[in-house]
């Protein structure tokens, strides 16, 4: 399996201001999640696979400094194997394997260039919908 980009997050200070901005600029629509200060960017009806994005408050960042930019998530088949590979390749685990209920397992790490990256092992039923 190719480890493709499946999610991106845009860190924001003010979720309402940011969602208004992106709606006006890109006509994005949003779904409220169970998490406060987190909005999922909805995907228009399409047969084309596209990454799913979110606006999320900076308080959800694993970095101690203010994150300016995007956090990208790549799909992996085996999160534990990827955690080992990250460590072996010189990366730093910032958030160990963590369960996201009804979605899968995620880890956040710094690469050798200090970029924050996520790896996500989706539950089978989620992965199946992404591959269909």
Contact indicator for 10, 56 with CB cutoff of 8 Å: yes
- Extract the runs of DSSP E, i.e. beta strands, from the chain: 5-12, 30-32, 38-41, 52-57, 70-75, 92-100, 104-110, 116-122
Q: Under the phi-then-psi rule, with left for phi > 0, alpha for psi from -120 to 50, and beta for the rest, what region is 69?
A: left
Q: List the structure tokens of 11.
A: 């860190």
pTM here is 0.73
Number of domains in the chain: 1
Which CATH number characterizes residue 39's domain? 3.10.180.10
- Residue 97 half-sphere exposure toward CB, CA atoms < 13 A: 13
Chain-centroid distance of CA 10 in Å reads 9
Residue 1 has pLDDT above 80, yes or no: no
Q: Can you tell me the distance from the alpha carbon of 108 to that of 129, in angstroms, rounded to the nearest whole number?
A: 23
Full residue range of the structural domain in which residue 20 is found: 5-131
The tens digit of pLDDT for each residue in 52-107 reads 789 999 888 888 888 777 889 999 999 999 999 999 999 999 999 999 999 999 99
pLDDT tens-digit map of 8-39 = 999 888 999 999 988 887 788 888 878 889 99
What's the chain's length in residues? 132
**Tokens 């696979």, residue located:** 49
């Amino acid at each position: 399996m190719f480890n493709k980009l499946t999610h991106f997050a845009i860190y924001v200070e003010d979720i309402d201001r940011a969602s208004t901005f992106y709606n006006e600029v890109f006509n994005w629509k949003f779904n409220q999640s169970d998490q406060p200060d987190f909005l999922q960017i909805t995907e228009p009806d399409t047969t084309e696979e596209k990454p799913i994005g979110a606006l999320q408050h900076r308080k959800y960042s694993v970095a101690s400094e203010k994150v300016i930019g995007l956090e990208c998530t790549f799909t992996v088949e085996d999160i534990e194997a990827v955690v080992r590979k990250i460590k072996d390749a010189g990366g730093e685990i910032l958030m160990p394997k963590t369960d996201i209920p009804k979605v899968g397992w995620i880890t956040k790490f710094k690469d050798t260039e200090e970029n924050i990256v996520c790896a996500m092992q989706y539950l089978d039923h989620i992965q199946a919908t992404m591959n269909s």
